[in-house]
Chain A
Amino acid sequence: MNPLEIRKDFPIFQEIINGHPLVYLDSAATSQKPRQVLEVLQRYYERENSNVHRGVHTLGTRATEAYENAREKVARFIHAPSANQVVFTRGTTESINMIAYGYARLKLKQGDEIVLPPSEHHSNLIPWQQVARATGARLKYLPLQGDGTIRLEDVEAAVTSDTKIVAIAHVSNVLGTINPVRDIADIAHRNGSIIVVDGAQSVPHMPVDVQELDCDFLAFSGHKMLGPTGVGVLYGKKSLLEEMEPTYFGGEMIDVVELHESTWKEAPWKFEGGTPIIAGAIGLGAAIDYLNRIGMAEIAEHDAHLAALAVDRLSKMDGISVYGPAAGQPRSGLVTFNLDGVHPHDVATVLDSVGVAVRAGHHCAQPLMRLLGVGSTARASFYLYNTEDDVEALAQALEQAKEFFGYAIG
């Protein structure tokens, strides 16, 4: 793959930021969008726009076909056995909340356990806190190693016959660690628990096969993988989706409606109450086409290569702390760091002044920040349109930040 060619598909890179070309290193927050996705959205609204699953007219059929075709694309992308196991949602947060409301709250009771690491994004943490409050179940945290990795023996020790849910990110949005989901799934299943996987940082960046992972649920967002905002996915095993109750009730999701009770459609449609996210889903389908054309294995290699290069470059600079796996250890395409003595907000402002966009803050992972002993950090994340020059631009901008604050602070 050639990122210089890929960049030509992304109109955003024509933007000049504070007099400098854009160096976008915040794809873990949201990715940029290629022309091919924007054009599909435009074409949908111009030539296919209609409500789905109800119109007998021609446009209704076109929209329904395009929407269900997008579901097929998602299913193939994550190797789901059937497209009926793909629910369109608003994003990772909504997907996980739907599991919490429609499954966990109905199934869990006093004495049950939910096992999770303290490094989870708030979206895979707070829904479980709420389930625990509502059902009397208990949250049980896995210990983290210094580099943020999780040892399987600790998972073995934590997961018991009382465990009903193991919740874990495939890839940490702060540390870039890649968790051994298949091994953890096996431990969960041996103990009669299900496993819920937050794929927000893995599905966009590496090949993901839900059957190989043997995960019971997988949640991810479209906007982090070249798709539009407002669309995400909930994948579930067939039997679990059958057991699970809808979260939203109303139009579209019903089978027969009587005055005092009603029945639902089958999954996935029973989970898609109201007019669904039609354009979003179609846009996500176009994003998947784009990613497939480049190849997920190539993208994974490219992102990890840039992250490794950044770890190497930043680790050699004085006054910079890099968090997460050590150089040479597996790491996804992101690097979290701090410039000693300078608040990450100040670092990000200096970087922005030369066009380098990074995330600064707690990354929706406050418990992890406390474990790291920092209030917040800066994070650079890479994607298929980033280059080695971007890594160099980051390093040079950090040198400028050091000089600036060194001079200013004296």
Chain B
Amino acid sequence: MQLDELYRQVIMDHYQNPRNQGRLSDEAISVDLRNPSCGDEISLQMMVENGVVKDVRFKGSGCSISMASASMMTDAIKGKTIAEALELSREFREMVKGNEVDLDQLGELESLQGVSKFPARIKCATLAWQALERAADTDAVH
């Protein structure tokens, strides 16, 4: 088990300097999620227009994996349609479970591939994506 496989430089960069921090206006879709087993939490806000993610922000506290994953996710889904964002979420989940995926499509998110070798940390990596899926499931999107 190599720690460097898990804690890649790009992950630590996102953890230290998370992108898309803060809050959007009250019209944005908001989802608050926590991982009850460890106390990590995320508050995700998404502005969706005509099925496209116009803007997305998050606030949260948690470990390097959960916060870096949230930061990268917000970068990755901005400008995508909800359907594309959900497809990315499926790919991401497959990757951290250790299944074969198209890494090109995942871009920077590929750096979290090492999580698959640390099963106890998969929940950390998927917290933000669970928030995204829940946000996509709200009436405001449909």
Chain A positions near chain B (C-beta within 8 angstroms)? 18-19, 342-346, 349-350, 353, 360-362, 366, 369, 375-376, 404-405, 408-410
Interface residues on B, range: 20 to 34
Contact of A409 among B16, B38, B39, B120 (CB under 8 A): B16
The answer to whether B63 and A343 touch across the interface, beta carbons within 8 angstroms, is yes
Neighbouring A residues of B39 by C-beta, 8 Å: 361-362, 366, 369, 375-376
Greatest chain B CB density within 10 A among A19, A350, A366, A408 is at A408
| Contact code string B56-83 (vs A, CB < 8 Å = 1, else 0) | 0000011111000000000000000000
Greatest chain B CB density within 10 A among A18, A343, A405 is at A343
The answer to whether B65 and A345 touch across the interface, beta carbons within 8 angstroms, is yes
Assembled-state Cα–Cα distance A362/B33 (Å)? 16
Q: How many A-B residue pairs have CB under 8 A?
A: 53
Assembled-state Cα–Cα distance A410/B12 (Å)? 9
Neighbouring B residues of A350 by C-beta, 8 Å: 3
Given A376-B38, A404-B7: A346 and B12 interface contact (C-beta under 8 Å): no
Assembled-state Cα–Cα distance A360/B121 (Å)? 12
Contacts beyond the supplied A349-B3, A405-B12, A408-B12: 6 A-B pairs with Cβ under 8 Å: A343-B63, A345-B121, A345-B124, A349-B118, A360-B38, A410-B16
Assembled-state Cα–Cα distance A375/B64 (Å)? 14
| Contact code string B1-38 (vs A, CB < 8 Å = 1, else 0) | 10100110100100110000000000000000000011
Contact of A343 among B41, B62, B118, B120 (CB under 8 A): B62
Nearest residue in B to A19 (C-beta to C-beta)?
B1
Chain B positions near chain A (C-beta within 8 angstroms)? 1, 3, 6-7, 9, 12, 15-16, 37-41, 61-65, 118, 120-121, 124
Assembled-state Cα–Cα distance A360/B63 (Å)? 11
Neighbouring B residues of A19 by C-beta, 8 Å: 1
A-B interface, 6 closest residue pairs, ranked by CB to CB distance from nearest: A343-B63, A345-B63, A408-B12, A362-B39, A18-B1, A375-B39
Neighbouring A residues of B124 by C-beta, 8 Å: 345
Main secondary structure of the interface of A (DSSP, over half): helix
Neighbouring B residues of A409 by C-beta, 8 Å: 12, 15-16
Assembled-state Cα–Cα distance A405/B3 (Å)? 11
Nearest residue in A to B62 (C-beta to C-beta)?
A343
Neighbouring A residues of B12 by C-beta, 8 Å: 405, 408-410
Greatest chain A CB density within 10 A among B6, B9, B63 is at B63
Assembled-state Cα–Cα distance A361/B61 (Å)? 13
Neighbouring B residues of A18 by C-beta, 8 Å: 1
The answer to whether B9 and A375 touch across the interface, beta carbons within 8 angstroms, is no
CB distance from A193 to the nearest CB of B (A): 32
CB distance from A327 to the nearest CB of B (A): 27
CB distance from A366 to the nearest CB of B (A): 7
Assembled-state Cα–Cα distance A369/B34 (Å)? 15
Nearest residue in A to B67 (C-beta to C-beta)?
A343
CB distance from B43 to the nearest CB of A (A): 14
Given A362-B39, A409-B16: A375 and B62 interface contact (C-beta under 8 Å): yes
Given A375-B40, A409-B16: A353 and B3 interface contact (C-beta under 8 Å): yes
CB distance from A370 to the nearest CB of B (A): 10
Assembled-state Cα–Cα distance A375/B66 (Å)? 14
The answer to whether A362 and B1 touch across the interface, beta carbons within 8 angstroms, is no
Given A362-B38, A362-B39, A404-B3: A349 and B121 interface contact (C-beta under 8 Å): yes
Assembled-state Cα–Cα distance A345/B37 (Å)? 11
Neighbouring B residues of A353 by C-beta, 8 Å: 1, 3
CB distance from B61 to the nearest CB of A (A): 5
Assembled-state Cα–Cα distance A366/B12 (Å)? 27
The answer to whether A343 and B64 touch across the interface, beta carbons within 8 angstroms, is yes
CB distance from A20 to the nearest CB of B (A): 10
Assembled-state Cα–Cα distance A376/B65 (Å)? 15
CB distance from A355 to the nearest CB of B (A): 10
The answer to whether A346 and B38 touch across the interface, beta carbons within 8 angstroms, is no
Neighbouring A residues of B121 by C-beta, 8 Å: 345, 349
Neighbouring B residues of A366 by C-beta, 8 Å: 39
Neighbouring A residues of B1 by C-beta, 8 Å: 18-19, 353
Contact of A346 among B16, B41, B61, B63 (CB under 8 A): B63
Assembled-state Cα–Cα distance A319/B1 (Å)? 26
Assembled-state Cα–Cα distance A346/B12 (Å)? 11
